Structure 1
């Protein structure tokens, strides 16, 4: 009996010490722009513990994953998604009246799994209806659901009638007077309360809609919608709670007010001027372009009835401009973090953004770095994520072939590992 117990103990120790070895034919660590050849990545308990030249054999108990014909990279990070919805035409605008919190949560769980299997191991979710991605984040972190690592803003913050006012388009009986708890503020006191409410709700960061938007049922898609004192109150309060601030913005004045207030990122940025670009460089503000969403809404605006009458001209005017804005911003040296606005376009199509970025003049390696190292920097998680580096979490993806020669390969990721666990191979 004693010998049996000892043997079982030794087997348990052996299993506990077993490592995973990835044989990478090409390795993009994203620490720099180099591509390493014939490397072995050693993973133990969900973290990278060594990167070694050549194909190492390891111990008999180790698991070896053969990616010698592939390019291996850090897990991709999408800085602008909406996991609990996916635009599907006119019916989308009725869902606010027909869907419950549970419906949104179940949809988010489905789309989260799709996103992970597309190679995106981390996402920044910028806007809920019912804080459903707070619950989903917790469920994924506890292992109950499959999906990417989620950093969520919960409900976005707007002003009355602004882009993220949840009652836009309602009749007077239904619209009521939403306040800070609902993500609608007027004045700096309510702005502070809304940030604190997001903290109470379990949000990781703050998202505000500083200008009009495309898909909201409101006439103007670019007017400024926050006063300076409101923006300053949001940023100051967010910093007290160690939260970053992401800013939906299309119009110039709204962008510039937000940048001067000290926000962390501008999303979309359609009507970005040279002065705005200079401000972003001065303040170190990240730009999250979402070209894919612009392409999607421009295409759908040509279909009669797909968008409401108020939305259609905004989609037709704003959508086609984002790729050109991105081209100017990246050429000028603005910091770029990858983001798609998926949920406007279909979840799982996130990888198409890489192609649009390269089409607009960005080098393929820089596009990959925007979705790895830069995204981690924007999230303030560079110590844990964003590169294939010793000590960091083992979030790793791979494609067959060379994405630096054919960026479209990133639309079909063949291997996905998150926290050392393989989800797709």
Structure 2
């Protein structure tokens, strides 16, 4: 090797190993809502380096005279988190066969559209808890992470783990209709099959696992109060997920199924509609999160009746909606951990923030409701180091609204500005 060649090699090596100069962005926040401290800090300067918060200080012009994003007239919050959405799927309709009418390719485009709408509504992180097309949420997450399409940060489950004909299947079809394989990716009938399916999902990119422990409101032929998955099957799922450093949440409406899932070791319960006092006390004692979607029952009742949804769905919705809200109010009083989760996809994406006023109506303070969609949801998803707050080290995901959300929580239904990773997207 000549001397000149050696020098060139050293230069190239240095270029590959030396980090690029850090990009710095500044935001002036007129009123910074800090969910970690539970208070509002007036007139703050947020310094952002390489997409993450580097410092939060009282306002003064940056020493380097760099441009400042001026949100001094706004209330600034961390980007919101919805811990229960279905982005990569069609929205609920009166047709039980609707999922069969859309190809995987079409679902990909639908998911991209839903992701963009969700991000612009101020939800910069979501837990996508399932699509009928297996791994559609994983691929959407990957596309967003690559920068192919705009959308929130996604924690994905890959596919529902459900019993044959259970609440996670497309049901209500003629007996001779054969479902595509990707719509039955998580179907399991024994603990051994559950272990195989859970391992398969992790091997193909799932972040966590969702079990369908009981019947569902919106699945024909299943009943919300009926436990479908045995405790042994749920234990197998939890054990397998833990061996991979991950965790499990369980769709569970009925009181018995909720308690069985908690005994099995799940981290969270989705819906918890018919939870009893014993279940609430168990959730508190075990530190289990109750992810209760207390808004969409009103949407189902109104739109479902208007559009002729199946009568069984409407009946089940009527039987669970108010019961769920009573349970939510009790859980708030008991100090149970309650992340913000809405079941978006049952109702149109982008309307997620409508749930805030219901959470306040049923016992939370506005600050608690904000914390449910920031610090609490981030903790639930295991993402507290990255999202849910605007202290140093977190991604610079934030929203700005024109009025005080602590005085009127409904202001979060119409956000003025959205930033993700230090880039303004609205």
The alpha-carbon deviation at position 20 of structure 1 amounts to 1.3
Q: Which residue of 1 aligns with 2:128?
A: 125
Partner SS for 1:69: strand
- Aligned equivalent of 2:381, options 376, 379, 382: 379
- Aligned equivalent of 1:321, options 303, 320, 323: 323
Any runs of at least 4 consecutive aligned residues in structure 1 with deviations exceeding 4 A, and if so which? 15-18, 175-181
Q: Which residue of 1 aligns with 2:262?
A: 259
Cα 1:176/1:118, change in 2 over 3 Å: closer
Q: Which residue of 1 aligns with 2:33?
A: 28
Partner SS for 1:310: helix
Superposition map of 1:339-354 within 5 A: 339-354=341-356
- Aligned equivalent of 1:421, options 414, 420, 423: 423
Superposition map of 1:43-122 within 5 A: 43-60=48-65, 62-87=66-91, 89-91=93-95, 93-122=96-125
Q: Is the 2:112–2:149 contact (alpha carbons within 8 Å) kept by the matching residues of 1?
A: yes
The alpha-carbon deviation at position 16 of structure 1 amounts to 4.4
Deviations 1:173-192 (A, max 9, x none): 22479799621111110110
- Aligned equivalent of 1:169, options 165, 172, 176: 172
Q: Is the 1:295–1:320 contact (alpha carbons within 8 Å) kept by the matching residues of 2?
A: no
Q: What is the alpha-carbon distance in structure 2 between the residues aligned to residue 140 and residue 176 of structure 1?
A: 28
Q: What is the alpha-carbon distance in structure 2 between the residues aligned to residue 313 and residue 30 of structure 1?
A: 38
- Aligned equivalent of 1:228, options 228, 231, 235: 231
Q: Which residue of 2 aligns with 1:355?
A: 357
The alpha-carbon deviation at position 87 of structure 1 amounts to 3.0
Q: Is the 2:90–2:99 contact (alpha carbons within 8 Å) kept by the matching residues of 1?
A: no
Q: Which residue of 1 aligns with 2:274?
A: 271
The alpha-carbon deviation at position 249 of structure 1 amounts to 0.9
Q: Is the 2:89–2:132 contact (alpha carbons within 8 Å) kept by the matching residues of 1?
A: no
Normalized against structure 2, the TM-score is what? 0.91
Q: What is the alpha-carbon distance in structure 1 between the residues aligned to residue 357 and residue 64 of structure 2?
A: 40
Compare 376-385 and 294-303 and name the one that shifted more.
294-303
Q: What is the alpha-carbon distance in structure 1 between the residues aligned to residue 332 and residue 341 of structure 2?
A: 14
The alpha-carbon deviation at position 121 of structure 1 amounts to 0.3
Q: Is the 2:271–2:292 contact (alpha carbons within 8 Å) kept by the matching residues of 1?
A: yes
Q: Is the 2:169–2:183 contact (alpha carbons within 8 Å) kept by the matching residues of 1?
A: no
Q: Which residue of 1 aligns with 2:332?
A: 330
Q: What is the alpha-carbon distance in structure 1 between the residues aligned to residue 424 and residue 108 of structure 2?
A: 25
Q: Is the 1:70–1:398 contact (alpha carbons within 8 Å) kept by the matching residues of 2?
A: yes
Deviations 1:54-91 (A, max 9, x none): 2333423x230111111111110100000023535324
- Aligned equivalent of 1:290, options 268, 290, 293: 293
Q: What is the alpha-carbon distance in structure 2 between the residues aligned to residue 237 and residue 63 of structure 1?
A: 50
Q: Which residue of 1 aligns with 2:44?
A: 39
Cα 1:46/1:178, change in 2 over 3 Å: closer
Q: Is the 1:219–1:310 contact (alpha carbons within 8 Å) kept by the matching residues of 2?
A: no
The alpha-carbon deviation at position 359 of structure 1 amounts to 1.1
- Aligned equivalent of 2:248, options 245, 249, 253: 245
Q: Is the 1:74–1:372 contact (alpha carbons within 8 Å) kept by the matching residues of 2?
A: yes
- Aligned equivalent of 1:156, options 138, 160, 168: 160
Q: Is the 1:217–1:311 contact (alpha carbons within 8 Å) kept by the matching residues of 2?
A: yes
Q: What is the alpha-carbon distance in structure 2 between the residues aligned to residue 71 and residue 298 of structure 1?
A: 34
CA RMSD of aligned residues (A): 2.0
Partner SS for 2:405: coil
The alpha-carbon deviation at position 292 of structure 1 amounts to 1.8
The alpha-carbon deviation at position 363 of structure 1 amounts to 0.4
The alignment covers a number of residue pairs equal to: 407
Q: What is the alpha-carbon distance in structure 1 between the residues aligned to residue 74 and residue 258 of structure 2?
A: 41
Partner SS for 1:67: strand
Where structure 2 has 5 or more consecutive residues not aligned to the other structure, the ranges are 1-19
Q: Is the 2:131–2:158 contact (alpha carbons within 8 Å) kept by the matching residues of 1?
A: yes
Deviations 1:138-171 (A, max 9, x none): 11101111000011111111112210023x2222
Q: Is the 2:275–2:324 contact (alpha carbons within 8 Å) kept by the matching residues of 1?
A: no
Cα 1:174/1:415, change in 2 over 3 Å: same
Partner SS for 1:326: helix
Q: What is the alpha-carbon distance in structure 2 between the residues aligned to residue 275 and residue 201 of structure 1?
A: 37
Normalized against structure 1, the TM-score is what? 0.92
Q: Is the 2:224–2:252 contact (alpha carbons within 8 Å) kept by the matching residues of 1?
A: no
Q: What is the alpha-carbon distance in structure 1 between the residues aligned to residue 290 and residue 208 of structure 2?
A: 16
Partner SS for 1:185: coil
